[in-house]
């Protein structure tokens, strides 16, 4: 069985998720398209990298990510570092002919994204962005129903992504609140997941009108490099630094195919943890999904007999997308891990079968341009057409 050597750049929470996926993907998808080998991991310090290698099961480690790019053994470069490093690493990796798997959002800006897209296009390497939520089996099932025409022509999409891990002003100033590192705030971090799903299920964006807000304008500065996602409270006489990105972005959408929609993304939605939801109204039915109850897809078919019509709560399992590979009965349960395992499989499959991965850097670039339109709309208080170039 073919093997693909992976170099993982980054050693935080996302490294755990990706390492888990590489280690277990063939256990689920068997025969696997290829077996990923955890070859080398990079962290900022030699000591950190050494620990990461032991923890995440990599053969080698380095504190210099360029070593990975230069390593002829490496087939896949996987980027799980903060957003400010994506472009540099990805472009170098593309030039070195590596396939690239990159965490979302693609980069800080659409300019960076464009260069990354051009680099992978020129290099002819496979590339994928880790918008993992579209790979939740229930979301893939929604896609299937839509493609089968089960809910008819789509009229309306309403998406939300609500979190509260940083709703407390005493949660730390992680890099996610700093424009120089993150590029965007909530819009880039979680809003892009909903944009990805909207494009996946409905189609390309045409115009947007938006509001963006920053509710907590300064936060306590944390020591060290660990990104605790705000679950730590820093109280007392801590030093604070400015937040220069958005806490919340809300916008309405006109899709190119005539459908309309709205997206609300916030990190100040107390009580909502990972409340990624969408509701889609079609001419013949509706679909509702809430990631917090991710085993379930709710679907309404208007052509059911009138006294038997109601949203069906479908628990995904072997009868649904990816189901054969996962657990043998529904509701044994999909966790975050499973979404990454599926993602890993699909990317490796795209390499082996030499087909485009999805969503790829082009999708990431387009999402970046949509974000540009959202930001512009908020600043100029008007509808803005997304400029995808020619």
Residues 199-258 close enough to bind a copy of itself by CB under 8 A = 209, 211, 213, 215, 228-229, 231, 248, 250-252, 254
d(CA 189, CA 381): 22
**Cβ neighbours of residue 273 under 8 Å, at least 6 residues apart?**
163, 164, 165, 292
Which residues from 19-38 bind a copy of itself, rule CB under 8 A? Answer: 19-20, 23-24, 26-28, 30, 32, 35
Binds a copy of itself (CB under 8 A): choice among 47, 225, 293, 379: 293
Report the alpha-carbon angle 55-59-62, nearest 5: 85
Per the CB < 8 A criterion, the answer to whether 87 and 116 are in contact is: yes
Task: Pick the closer one to a copy of itself by CB: 329 or 355.
Answer: 329
From residue 70, how far is each of 76, 98, 101 by CA, in Å?
A: 12, 10, 17
Per the CB < 8 A criterion, the answer to whether 85 and 79 are in contact is: yes
Q: Count the Cβ atoms, other than its own, within 10 Å of residue 258.
A: 11
Which residues from 76-135 bind a copy of itself, rule CB under 8 A? Answer: none
Stretch that binds a copy of itself, among 14-22, 96-104, 105-113, 234-242 (CB under 8 A): 14-22
Binds a copy of itself (CB under 8 A): choice among 61, 101, 131, 291: 291
When asked if residue 138 is in the footprint of a copy of itself (CB under 8 A), the reply is no
> Closest distance between a copy of itself and the C-beta of residue 308, in Å?
7
Binds a copy of itself (CB under 8 A): choice among 44, 155, 181, 352: 155
Binds a copy of itself (CB under 8 A): choice among 59, 235, 313, 379: 313
When asked if residue 281 is in the footprint of a copy of itself (CB under 8 A), the reply is yes
Binds a copy of itself (CB under 8 A): choice among 284, 346, 349, 352: 284
From residue 73, how far is each of 69, 102, 168, 346 by CA, in Å?
A: 10, 19, 46, 22
Spatial CA neighbour of 39 closest among 87, 83, 77, 10:
77
Say which DSSP state 187 is in. I
> Closest distance between a copy of itself and the C-beta of residue 164, in Å?
8
Report the alpha-carbon angle 132-289-282, nearest 5: 115
When asked if residue 44 is in the footprint of a copy of itself (CB under 8 A), the reply is no
When asked if residue 306 is in the footprint of a copy of itself (CB under 8 A), the reply is yes
The site that binds a copy of itself (CB under 8 A) totals a number of residues, namely: 105
Q: Which two tokens stand for residue 248?
A: 């919340």
Binds a copy of itself (CB under 8 A): choice among 257, 332, 353, 379: 332
Task: Pick the closer one to a copy of itself by CB: 122 or 313.
Answer: 313
When asked if residue 333 is in the footprint of a copy of itself (CB under 8 A), the reply is yes
Binds a copy of itself (CB under 8 A): choice among 46, 47, 54, 379: 54
When asked if residue 16 is in the footprint of a copy of itself (CB under 8 A), the reply is yes
> Closest distance between a copy of itself and the C-beta of residue 20, in Å?
5
When asked if residue 167 is in the footprint of a copy of itself (CB under 8 A), the reply is yes
Task: Pick the closer one to a copy of itself by CB: 111 or 379.
Answer: 379
Question: What contacts 24+ positions apart, CB below 8 Å, involve 238-244?
Answer: 240/173, 241/173, 241/178, 242/217, 242/218, 243/173, 243/177, 243/178, 243/185, 243/214, 243/216, 243/217, 243/218, 243/219, 244/177, 244/178, 244/179, 244/214
Query: How many residues belong to the chain?
Result: 390
When asked if residue 388 is in the footprint of a copy of itself (CB under 8 A), the reply is no
> Collapsing DSSP states into helix, strand and coil, what is residue 246?
coil
Stretch that binds a copy of itself, among 59-67, 176-184, 361-369, 377-385 (CB under 8 A): 377-385
> Closest distance between a copy of itself and the C-beta of residue 67, in Å?
23
């Amino acid at each position: 069985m073919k093997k693909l050597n992976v170099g993982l750049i980054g050693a935080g929470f996302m490294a755990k998720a990706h390492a888990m996926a590489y280690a277990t993907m063939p256990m689920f998808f068997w025969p696997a398209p290829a077996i990923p080998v955890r070859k080398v991991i990079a962290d900022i310090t030699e000591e950190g990298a050494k620990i990461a290698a032991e923890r995440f099961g990599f053969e080698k480690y380095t504190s210099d990510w360029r070593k990975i790019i230069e390593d002829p053994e490496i087939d896949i470069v996987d980027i799980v570092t903060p957003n400010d490093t994506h472009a540099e690493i990805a472009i170098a990796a593309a030039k070195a002919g590596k396939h690239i798997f990159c965490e979302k959002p693609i980069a800080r800006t659409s300019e960076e994204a464009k260069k990354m897209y051009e680099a992978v296009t020129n290099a002819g390497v496979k590339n994928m962005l880790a918008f993992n939520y579209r790979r939740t089996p229930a979301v893939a099932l929604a896609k299937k129903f839509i493609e089968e025409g089960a809910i008819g022509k789509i009229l309306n999409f309403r998406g939300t992504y609500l979190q509260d891990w940083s709703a407390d002003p005493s949660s730390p100033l992680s890099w996610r609140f700093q424009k120089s590192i993150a590029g965007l705030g909530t819009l880039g971090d979680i809003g892009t997941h909903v944009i990805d799903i909207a494009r996946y299920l409905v189609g390309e964006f045409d115009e947007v009108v938006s509001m963006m807000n920053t509710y907590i304008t300064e936060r306590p500065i944390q020591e060290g490099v660990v990104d605790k996602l705000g679950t730590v409270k820093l109280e007392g006489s801590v030093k604070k630094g400015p937040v220069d990105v958005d806490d919340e972005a809300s916008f309405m959408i006109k899709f190119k195919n005539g459908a309309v929609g709205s997206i609300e993304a916030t990190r100040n939605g107390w009580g909502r943890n990972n409340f990624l939801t969408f509701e889609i109204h079609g001419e013949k039915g509706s679909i509702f999904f809430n990631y917090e109850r991710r085993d379930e897809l709710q679907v309404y078919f208007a052509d059911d007999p009138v006294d038997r019509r109601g949203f069906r709560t479908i628990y995904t399992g072997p009868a649904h997308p990816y189901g054969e590979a996962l657990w043998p009965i529904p509701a044994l349960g999909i966790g975050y891990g499973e979404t990454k395992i599926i993602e890993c499989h699909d990317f490796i499959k795209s390499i082996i079968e030499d087909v485009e991965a999805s969503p790829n850097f082009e999708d990431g670039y387009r999402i970046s341009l949509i974000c540009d339109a959202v930001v512009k709309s908020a600043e100029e208080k008007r509808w803005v057409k997304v400029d995808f170039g020619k």
